[in-house]
Amino acid sequence: MIDVRQVTRYFGRVKAVDQVSFQVEKGEILGFLGPNAAGKTTTMRILTTFLPATKGTATVAGYDVHLKSMEVRKRIGYMPENPPLYTEMRVRDFIDFVASIKGVDPRDRKRAVAETMDKTGVAHVSNRVIKTLSKGYKQRVGLAQALVHNPDVLILDEPTVGLDPKQIIEVRELIKSLGGNHTIILSTHILPEVSMTCERVVIINAGRVVAEDKPENLTRHLTASQRISVAVKGPKQDVQSKLSALSSVSQVIPSQSGDDASVHRFLLESLAENEIRPQVARAVIENGWDLFEMKPEGLSLEDVFLHLTTKEEGTEL
Amino acid sequence: MRNYWTIVTRELKSYFSSPVAYVVIGLFLLISGVFYYLIVTNFVQVCMRADMQAQMYRMAPPKLNINMMAIRPLFHNMSLFALFFLPLVTMRLYADEKRSGTIELLLTSPVSNLQHLAGKFTAAAVLYLLMLIFSFVYMILLYIFGSPETGPILTGYLGLYLLGLSYLSFGLFFSTLTDNQLIAAIATMVFILFFWAIGWLSGSVSPALGQALEQFSLIEHFDDFSKGIFDTQHVIFYLSFVVMGLFLSFISIESARWRGR
Ligand SMILES: Nc1ncnc2c1ncn2[C@@H]1O[C@H](COP(=O)(O)OP(=O)(O)O)[C@@H](O)[C@H]1O
Ligand SMILES: [Mg+2]
């Protein structure tokens, strides 16, 4: 449904997005996770045709965002970081206006507007002037404007930012209920948010995609306080089981071996803050194997996580 | 086409759901009214004095022309007031969308840049038309107390409208350049004043250059209208000005995409 290929965007000299590629399947909810200034908003603006990419291509529902931008626009609902609201308008009039410019058939418009207001829970404030609404309700009106034309794709830029815990839960429930019917990309800098709402996560940092995985796996990366890779010469099964048995090692993942078939590589993770290297080294020696290499492993994700918001006040994980 | 009308309607509603339209129309009418009063009372005094002199010297009272002596200066005054009020009408059109972020909705909807540009311009032009229609009351009063010629009044209004459209189209342009309404309005006023005053320079430069400058002066082209002369040359001048402003606005919106807005 969404296909992003090698998209790069410069602002003057600043490279805001650097060769970003990812795909989103129909009906999937993709989390777009990254700290501030990672390039989330810029990527989303490229997908919504608001900004052109400097290099690379992206297609939404099979249409190129640059060459067929009008076709793309008909099929996306976009909620920017600040909900785009004409605050002097009444809720109903505003949604109706959006339905009209999004190309909803005039005969269906009234029904579409009413349904959307029901779905987003703003029906009972439909005659209120938007500027008199609370932040939470403004956010819902923002969602309503993204939904009113029943788009294939929803692009939501930090949809829960600035809401109170109760509102956050409500908005997340709403988004989850939209998955399946819509393909959704949701950006956030809050780690627990992706595990709660998304099926898959793309992590972006300093404009680059640094990881792509299921949320469960990310949480595991996060709780592992140390990861090392070791290369050991010895019987593979035996090595793996013995290393797993060590008290401070939580997981042993075999990784690809080098040229020498008898030397096996493993990725070890520790749960607590224990230093596992001495223990591992001792185990290898005591079992009569040869230790070829031992080094701390790819901590780039951790650097990213350091800058993410990993805890939330008041909401359940 | 439907998108165009949707934008026009929304913009017009927006004018009237905030104080902008009422304040701009109200102040324009008020200030025009004050000058109308001053000009007309002055004209009446001049007439009375002329009558008295005529009686003193036992001559027929002179026929003083209300079109030349009252209506024409009034048009000139109104063209100046429009210079200060119309930038207030256009300043929010894009600047406010940028400030509030609604520009992201507008530019990610299947509405072409030409459609929203034309829609916004039309809304401003309609508001200005309303301003002029209200001010027409002053002219009607003149018919009650005197007998002005209708021709010059009509050409005067036509000129005033075309002149105002030029202001509006450049006001729209300056509104695309910034997210600050005040800056948009001030830039517009300075720009228009420059094109107003460019004719005044003509005296102090070489005759050839002076003539060229006069050709570009917004107000030079208005003079004939206020005298009751309809010349397509002037109509074409103002329409070119309008098209120029709209074209620059279009370029500005398109290029902002690449710059990063
Ligand atoms: N319009 C712009 N002009 C110049 N620089 C920009 C613009 N938009 C974003 N940037 C820069 O691009 C980088 C990524 O920004 P952004 O996409 O907003 O990140 P995020 O949404 O992940 O916080 C930042 O360094 C930001 O300063
Ligand atoms: Mg952002």
Domain-by-domain residue ranges, chain A? 2-220, 224-298
Is residue A249 a contact partner of residue A270, using CB atoms and an 8 Å limit?
yes
Task: State the pLDDT at residue A316.
Answer: 43
Report d(CA B246, CA B173) in Å as an integer.
7
Ligand 2 centroid–CA A112 distance in Å is 30
Query: B106 CA to chain A: closest CA distance, Å?
Result: 8
CB of A54 closer than 8 Å to CB of A18: no
Name residues whose C-beta falls within 8 Å of residue B54's C-beta, 6 or more positions apart in sequence. B60, B61, B62
In the reported structure, the alpha carbon of residue A196 is separated from the centroid of ligand 1 by a whole-number distance in angstroms of 26
Give the H/E segment covering residue A59: strand A55-60
Pocket test for ligand 1, best of A9, A11, A33, A204 (most atoms within 8 A of CB): A11
Ligand 1 centroid, distance to A42 Cα (angstroms): 6
Q: Which atom of ligand 1 is nearest to the CA of A51?
A: 1
Question: For residue B48, how many other CB atoms are within 10 A of its CB?
Answer: 10
* pLDDT tens sequence across B116-154: 999 999 999 999 999 999 998 888 888 887 778 888 889
CA-wise closest residue to A1 among A37, A25, A36, A27: A25
Among A48, A100, A127, most B C-beta atoms within 10 A, so best to mutate, is A100
Model's pTM, two decimal places? 0.84
Instruction: From chain B, pick out residues whose CB is under 8 angstroms from the CB of A48.
Output: 104, 108
* Residue of B186, B195, B175, B8 whose CA lies nearest to B103: B175
Q: Does A238 lie at the interface with B, CB-CB under 8 angstroms?
A: no
Cα of A173 to nearest chain B Cα, Å: 24
Ligand nearest to the CA of A37: 1
The total of other beta-carbon atoms located within 10 Å of residue A107's CB is: 7
Residue A317's pLDDT is what? 40
A84 at the B interface (CB within 8 A)?
yes
Residues in A closer than 8 angstroms to B7, CB to CB, are 101
| CA A284 – CA A288 distance, rounded (Å) | 6
Buried b (16+ CB within 10 A) or exposed e, A244-272: eebebbbebeeeeeeeeeebbbbbbbbee
Closest-CA residue, ligand 1 atom 6, reads A11
Which atom of ligand 1 is least distant from the CA of A9?
12
Closest ligand relative to A34 C-alpha: 1
Cα separation, A98 vs A103, in Å, equals: 9
pLDDT, one tens digit per residue, over A204-218 is 988 988 888 887 776
Flag residues of chain B having pLDDT under 50: none
> What is the CB-side half-sphere exposure of residue A160 using CA atoms within 13 A?
26
Q: Which CATH superfamily is domain A224-298 in?
A: MTH889-like domain (3.30.70.1340)
Q: State the smallest CA–CA distance between residue B231 and chain A in angstroms.
A: 40
Whether A78 and B108 lie within 8 Å, measured CB to CB: yes
Contacts of A103 in chain B (CB under 8 A): 110
- Domain A2-220: what homologous superfamily? P-loop containing nucleotide triphosphate hydrolases (3.40.50.300)
**Whole-angstrom distance, CA of residue A97 vs CA of residue A77:** 14
Q: Which of A273, A129, A172, A184 is nearest to A1 (CA)?
A: A184
| pLDDT attached to residue A225 | 60
Positions in chain A whose pLDDT score sits under 50: 299-300, 314-317
Strand spans (E) along A258-317? 263-270, 290-296
The half-sphere exposure of A311 on its side-chain side, counting CA atoms within 13 A, is: 3
* Least distant ligand from the CA of A17: 1
Residue A51 sits at the vertex; the CA angle it makes with B182 and A23, to the nearest 5 degrees, is 150
Q: Does A41 touch chain B (CB under 8 A)?
A: no
- Residues on chain B touching A82 (C-beta within 8 angstroms): 100-101
pLDDT in tens, A104-126: 999 999 999 999 999 999 999 99
